[in-house]
Each structure stands twice: as structure tokens, then as C-alpha cells.
Copies of this chain bind each other. A is one copy, B any other.
Amino acid sequence: MTLHTDATHDPSLRSWVASANVAGCDFPIQNLPFGRFRVAGGAARIGVAIGDQILDLRAAGLIDTDDMNALMAAPPAQRQALRARLSQGLASAAIGSAQQAAWQAALVPQAQAEMLLPCRIGDYTDFYTSVHHATNVGKQFRPDNPLLPNYKWVPIGYHGRASSIGVSGAPVKRPMGQLKAPDAAAPVLAPCKRLDYELELGWFVGQGNAQGESIAIGEAEQHLFGVALFNDWSARDIQGWEYQPLGPFLSKNFASTLSPWVVTLEALAPFRAPFTRPEGDPQPLPYLDSAANRAHGAFSITLEVLLQTERMRAEGMAPVVLSRTDTTRAAYWTPAQLVAHHTVNGCNLQSGDLFGSGTLSGPGADEAGSLLELAVAGQRPVQLPNGEQRSFLEDGDTLTLRGWCERAGAVRIGLGEVSGTIVG
């Protein structure tokens, strides 16, 4: 397996930003994710996370724009060159240089920064890449027919709402909607009673394509910028009543939440994995298949869901882990396949567009990426250590997603976290 690693991934590299060298840090010098931030309500700036600091790229003289979409639109080689400069300039070997002094002055403590959405999201597409999630949910909505015949051929996706995507920390207001009990003659308008999260990754489009032109799978990764954590909050009772025949709408578009740091494809290079299909499953059609995709089209990212209820917070209890999985166990399609599929009809992608992975549930019962699955639609409520239980989210609950990559011989890199608290 070719890993496309280079000097920026060297595990022996350390940074003169001391906090980046602490074991378990999400943002060591091998990571260098991009984000947008502001300080004290000022203008939005583009920065790179290093340890507990942000390097302000314009203040450091590395770029001349505050427009992340413009940065995303650039050819990957430009991004890679910037990564190489950042890696060299932040490395311990640069200590004492004039550049180090200038960059030191361009550091902003993360604790002092307000993080913003990473970019302007033109269109947001949500996929459905976990066959386990599709099967688990399918059982509840269509007991006779959980996994539809198209699933193993088509990377199922649909368009979502871009305007209501927020950044980690934004409160999530419990939505109102039409609810209809199975035995009721008519629906009622009421607050959602089955509010849920969805553990997802959000892949950002880098370079776009012209309308009418497809992106071949061999070129697909040249059009991806990087990845963040994504929570696709879902109102299951609204969804059950509204979703046929055209798909989810108000059950999803009240809010979605992104983590603020976008980890680039370059940073993920050591964590690539083969793409394989279970024995007996059909092989992808040729436009979704390539030797490179089979060899290393997947990414191994560990994902974790944590819950802290209001009472836990009041009792000083730390958040509890609800589930944990890894993308290689959960995803039936690779990011490159999503790009090739999305554009095979000539649909034009634009820089900053977001692809949700869909809920990333692994095969195990403790690997499910939603409460709907973990609590089996309320039949088996999740027991919390303080005696509380949850079938769905309650007001005051704080739900957090975390993600990281680790592998023998590589330095662990993190995606940070995305967090949101339900308000009534």
C-alpha cells in the first residue's frame, strides 16, 4: 500500500510550539488543520491549529486572503507546498530564525479565539455510507425490507440544508414539527419527542468541476480538501411522518453542526486503508472502481460519541462514551467514490461544498452512530452511570463527537471535537 507520506509526516518531528508535542494532542506538527477564527469579534481570519495555538496565516505572511473558499479552490499542489512551509517553519529546527520570531507573533491561543464555520458552504450533500446504519434504520422504518436493492450499487445521497449548518458550540433548539402517532387519525404540531444525533464525517470539496463534466475516480481525491466531524441532528418522529416519498426535510434542516478544524487529505496520508467489499457483495461499477481506490481509497479514523446530561454536569460527572467505531468498519463507500458518483451526471461541485458521510455505524451494537440505533428506537434505553437513561436526547444534554487517527509508526492526529447542547 502506497501511503504518499513525506517529510511532513516524519514521526520524529517536533515543534517549537511546546503544546503540540504533548502526547495525545489533537494538533501535533504532523496534522496542521485549517480553520477560520476571530478574536474579540474582529474580522474572520484563516488559521492553522498547532497544539493549543492558532497560527494566523495572513499575519505570518503565508497567504494574502481571508477567504477559505479561495484557498480550497487552489490546486492541491499549492496546499501541499503551504503544508511543507508550515511543517518546516513550525519545527524545532527553525528555532532562532527570524521567521520563527515573526510566526511566534502570529500565534493566537485557541482559548482566546472564537471559531467560525470553516468556509462558505454552497451546497451540502448527505450520503448514507454505512451499510450497518442503513440496515439498522431500515429495520425500523421498513421491517420487511431493511436494505433496499440499490444500496450495494448506488452510493445513496441526498441534498441537505446549507443555511442551518453551524459550528461546534452552537446550541441546538428542539424543533417543532408535525408528529403523527401510528393510531392517531391526524397529525399534531408539537415539539419533537425523538430528537437524535448522527455521528458523521464532513468531507469538504476543494477544486470544483464545470457543469456537464464528470470527475473520474482516478482524479476524485484531487477535488477533496479535507475532513471535519459532523453532527446531523435528526428529529425521528418528524422524519417518520414526512420522509415519503421525497426524503427527509424538516426532520434534518433545523440544525447540523461541524467541528471547526478541517484536517487535510495530506495529513490523513498515513491513515489510508484498503477498500474491500464483503465476500459475495457486488463489485462497484467501473466508474466507482480503480486499483488505487481498492489499494488505499479508505481512511481509518476512530470516532467516538460522548453524552453529558444536565444532571451529570450538575453532579460534576464527566461525559460518558456512548459508542465508538472506526470508519473502515462503518463506511461502504470511499470519499473518492462519493465524488465520482456525485459528478457522473455532470453535477457541478464548488469549492467549500460539504459531503456528509451519513451516520457512521460499525457492525457491533456498541458501534452505532445514533441513539435510534443504540436504544433500538426506544425499546432498550441506554443506561447512564448515574441511573439516568436515554432513548432520545433531552433538553440540557450535551452531545460531543470526537475523532482521531492512530497507527503504529505514525504520530496520532486528531480531528478535535464537535459539541452541541439541546435547548427546549
Contacts and interface: CB of A to CB of B under 8 A. Distances in A.
Interface of A: 122-123, 125-126, 128, 138, 141-142, 148, 150, 153-154, 156-164, 166, 173, 175-178, 180, 186-189, 211-212, 214, 235, 238, 241-250, 253-255, 282, 285-287, 341-342, 344-350, 353
Given A158-B158, A176-B345, A250-B347, 18 more contacts: A123-B161, A141-B245, A153-B186, A153-B187, A156-B246, A157-B246, A158-B246, A159-B249, A163-B211, A175-B345, A176-B346, A177-B344, A177-B345, A187-B285, A235-B345, A238-B345, A245-B247, A250-B341
B285 A250 contact: no
Given A178-B153, A189-B344, A247-B246, A211 B166 contact: yes
18 contacts: A122-B162, A148-B244, A150-B242, A154-B178, A154-B187, A154-B242, A158-B159, A159-B249, A161-B347, A173-B212, A173-B346, A178-B285, A189-B287, A211-B254, A238-B345, A247-B247, A247-B248, A250-B342
Contacts of A248: 158, 246-247
A346 B175 contact: yes
A173 B246 CA distance: 24
A159 B156 contact: no
A118 to B, nearest CB: 17
Residue among A166, A214, A246 having the largest count of chain B Cβ atoms under 10 Å: A246
Q: Which 8 A-B pairs have the closest CB atoms?
A: A247-B247, A175-B345, A159-B159, A158-B246, A173-B212, A254-B345, A246-B247, A250-B345
A237 to B, nearest CB: 12
A85 B353 CA distance: 41
A11 B270 CA distance: 73
A207 to B, nearest CB: 14
Contacts of A344: 176-177, 189, 250
B285 A148 contact: no
A393 to B, nearest CB: 15
Given A178-B154, A246-B128, A349 B163 contact: yes
A142 B244 CA distance: 12
A267 B282 CA distance: 56
Nearest to A244: B148
Contacts of A235: 345
A235 B150 CA distance: 17
Contacts of A187: 150, 153-154, 285
A341 B177 CA distance: 9
A189 B286 contact: yes
Residue among A163, A188, A341 having the largest count of chain B Cβ atoms under 10 Å: A163
A177 B155 CA distance: 12
Contacts of A353: 163
A154 to B, nearest CB: 5
A353 B162 CA distance: 11
Given A123-B161, A164-B348, A347-B161, A148 B245 contact: yes
